[in-house]
């Protein structure tokens, strides 16, 4: 499952735009326990650059990263070899770097960093040796930056793979980990029980105190295949589920710039009508933000 879901559709640009609008739509978004921001607020003015993944083959086995500015001009950012997928781009808050996941066809994924102009491409951690797999070289994916742009938070997958009754692969150890952008001071913050499921798309709160992430149950767990949005302390303590398992919520949950709201997508990959919702990090105040499901090509946006 950790392999089959890591290329799932994402909506980071929608999350970012909506949350940017919330911060300027009255006082309710900044007051604890306040009501959801009005859905009739005018759209924010974008003056930044969007980075997104684009498939380069019809079978979706090859993908690169591109950027588009307010001039509408698309620029190719990465040039992976055929069969390699560059995915999950994430801007550093200072706008100087983009971190992303690079997945070869038959090897663990690794994280890379690159400047917005395409220069300085480099792995964040040491590459895996030829022939390595998750038993001897971790699969690193879903990078996001700390508020000071000095650390990268990510999903670390290690160990052996088991196949459930539906034929889906599940990794032995799925963990939230963090390291410096130069690959140093790596450490695990939180880990699920063996083969119990995946921890996906973690993101640090603007104050650096909490992490939001999506948790997906494996085929070997109770409520198999169900997913939910969780928050946890930045030291890996006190995990807390915010959304019901029946809602199948997740798909890159994101923080508002002031840290008082989370936006997430419901009914991810279960065939039901999905919506975007806002909720406070303490689990209070869920509110339908009246956004329709959109099919986007995994973009992320920086607003300047």
Helix (H, G, I), strand (E, B) or coil at 126: coil
CA dihedral over 90, 92, 97, 103, signed as positive or negative? negative
Q: SS in 3 state form for 248-283?
A: CCEEEEEECCCCCCEEEECCCCCCCCCCEEEECCCC
- Who has greater pLDDT, 37 or 186? 186
Beta-bridge mates of residue 157: 139, 174
How many angstroms separate the CA atoms of 178 and 185, rounded?
8
Helix (H, G, I), strand (E, B) or coil at 92: coil
CA dihedral over 32, 38, 42, 47, signed as positive or negative? positive
Q: Supply the pLDDT for residue 45.
A: 64
* Contact status, residue 274 vs residue 293, Cβ threshold 8 Å: yes
pLDDT at 294 over 90: no
Of 11, 36, 5, residue with least CA distance to 280: 36
Which pLDDT tens digit goes with each residue over 62-88? 999 999 998 899 999 999 999 999 999
How many angstroms separate the CA atoms of 198 and 264, rounded?
17
For residues 120-143, average pLDDT: 95
DSSP state of 2: T
* Contact status, residue 153 vs residue 204, Cβ threshold 8 Å: yes
Burial class, 6, CB count within 10 angstroms (exposed 0-12 / middle 13-18 / buried 19+): buried
How many angstroms separate the CA atoms of 38 and 26, rounded?
8
Q: All domains of the chain, ordered by start, with CATH?
A: 12-302 (2.120.10.60)
Could you tell me the CA-to-CA distances from 293 to 51, 88, 272, 289 in Å, in that order?
20, 19, 11, 12
Sorted by sequence, the CB contacts under 8 Å of residue 90 that are 6+ apart come out as: 98, 99, 100, 143, 144, 145, 300
How many angstroms separate the CA atoms of 301 and 70, rounded?
11
How many angstroms separate the CA atoms of 195 and 38, rounded?
42
Which pLDDT tens digit goes with each residue over 228-282? 999 999 999 999 999 999 889 998 999 999 999 999 988 888 878 888 888 899 8
pLDDT band for 44, please (50, 70, 90 cuts).
low
Q: Supply the pLDDT for residue 23.
A: 38
Q: What is the pTM of this model?
A: 0.81
Which pLDDT tens digit goes with each residue over 95-120? 999 999 999 998 999 999 999 999 99
How many angstroms separate the CA atoms of 78 and 137, rounded?
24
Q: Percentage of the chain surpassing pLDDT 90? A: 68
């Amino acid at each position: 499952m950790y392999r089959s879901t890591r290329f799932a559709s994402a909506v980071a640009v929608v999350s970012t735009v909506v949350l940017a609008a919330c911060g300027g739509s009255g006082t309710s978004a900044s007051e604890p326990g306040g009501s959801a921001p009005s859905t009739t607020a005018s759209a924010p003015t974008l003056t930044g650059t969007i980075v997104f993944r684009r498939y380069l083959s019809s079978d979706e086995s090859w993908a690169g990263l591109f950027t588009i500015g307010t001039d509408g001009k698309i620029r190719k950012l990465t040039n992976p070899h055929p069969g390699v997928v560059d995915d999950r781009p994430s801007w550093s808050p200072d706008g100087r770097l983009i971190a992303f996941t690079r997945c070869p066809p038959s090897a663990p994924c690794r994280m890379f960093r690159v400047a917005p102009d395409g220069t300085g491409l480099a792995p964040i951690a040491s590459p895996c040796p030829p022939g390595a797999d998750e038993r001897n070289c971790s699969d690193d994916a879903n990078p996001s930056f700390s508020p000071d742009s000095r650390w990268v938070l990510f999903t670390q997958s290690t160990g052996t793979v088991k196949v459930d009754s539906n034929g889906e692969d599940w990794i032995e150890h799925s963990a939230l980990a963090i390291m410096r952008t130069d690959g140093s001071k790596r450490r695990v913050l939180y880990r699920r029980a063996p083969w119990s499921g995946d921890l996906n798309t973690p993101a640090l709160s603007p104050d650096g105190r909490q992490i939001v992430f999506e948790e997906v149950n494996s085929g070997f767990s109770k409520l198999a295949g169900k997913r939910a949005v969780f928050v946890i302390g930045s030291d890996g303590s006190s995990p807390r589920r915010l959304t019901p398992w029946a809602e199948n919520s997740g798909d890159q949950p994101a923080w508002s710039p002031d840290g008082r709201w989370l936006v997430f997508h419901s009914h991810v990959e279960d065939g039901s009508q999905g919506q975007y919702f806002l909720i406070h990090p303490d689990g209070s105040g869920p509110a339908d933000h009246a956004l329709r499901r959109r099919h986007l090509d995994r973009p992320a946006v920086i607003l300047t």
